Amino acid sequence: MKTCHYCQIIHLLISSFAGIKDIIISKTGYTGSGGFELYIPNNNAIDIWDALFDSKEFDLKPIGLAARDTLRIEMGYCLYGNDINEGTSPEEANLRWITKVETSFIGHKIIENQIKKGSDRKLIGFKLIEKSIPRNGYEVFNIDNKLIGKVTSGTFSPVLKKGIGLAYINSINLKDDLIYIKIRNNLSKAEIVKTPFI
């Protein structure tokens, strides 16, 4: 087993797995549920897949991206391309905790200004009160039927047995903690909640 100082810092090691050398085994990911990622050569993918699912010691089951995305949303984690992009500031996305605002970097003055004066939009978590499932791109309205934002990520939470999601809203037009998600031409009532959802 080979390890290095850098590997120990970011919780990974380079080892053999299923008879294949130099596999990177990493305790990374963004689902919030724990687990490991394997970085393998393409030509060994089938061998490693078979070794994992032939194992009698663990009852492993394959899952797809939708299941992984449900775990991510339940934790309130942002996905690039959905909840954040190059036009999103850490202040808007509630990611100030990973931003060293006291250092000088491209765009730091914009973020400092948003911290002092607030930002026009904020990423919020919401839980549907009525039975429905929110999806990316659905419009968000306030109690006065005014369009105030859009859903960026949404799913049905198997744990909560409810639809949950993340959305950017214009908080200036928010009257209370209730919002309405337009789902198939109906407005479904939702409440703004803190993340993680579970």
Neighbours of 150 (CB within 10 A): 16
Give pTM, 2 decimals.
Answer: 0.81
User: Picking from 5-19, 70-84, 175-189, which range would have the lowest pLDDT averaged per residue?
Assistant: 5-19
**What average pLDDT does the segment 38-66 reach?**
90
Q: Which domains does the chain have, with CATH numbers?
A: 5-62 (no CATH), 76-193 (2.40.30.110)
Pairwise CA distance, residues 188 & 147, whole Å: 14
Pairwise CA distance, residues 120 & 99, whole Å: 19
Residue 125 scores a pLDDT above 80:
yes
- Return mean pLDDT, the chain: 88
Residue 164 scores a pLDDT above 60:
yes
18-43 tens-digit pLDDT:
899 999 988 877 777 777 888 999 99
Q: Are 152 and 120 in contact (CB under 8 A)?
A: no
Neighbours of 83 (CB within 10 A): 24
Instruction: Identify which of 67, 85, 55, 1 has the alpha carbon closest to the alpha carbon of residue 29.
Output: 67
**What average pLDDT does the segment 133-150 reach?**
95
Higher-scoring residue by pLDDT: 125, 32? 125
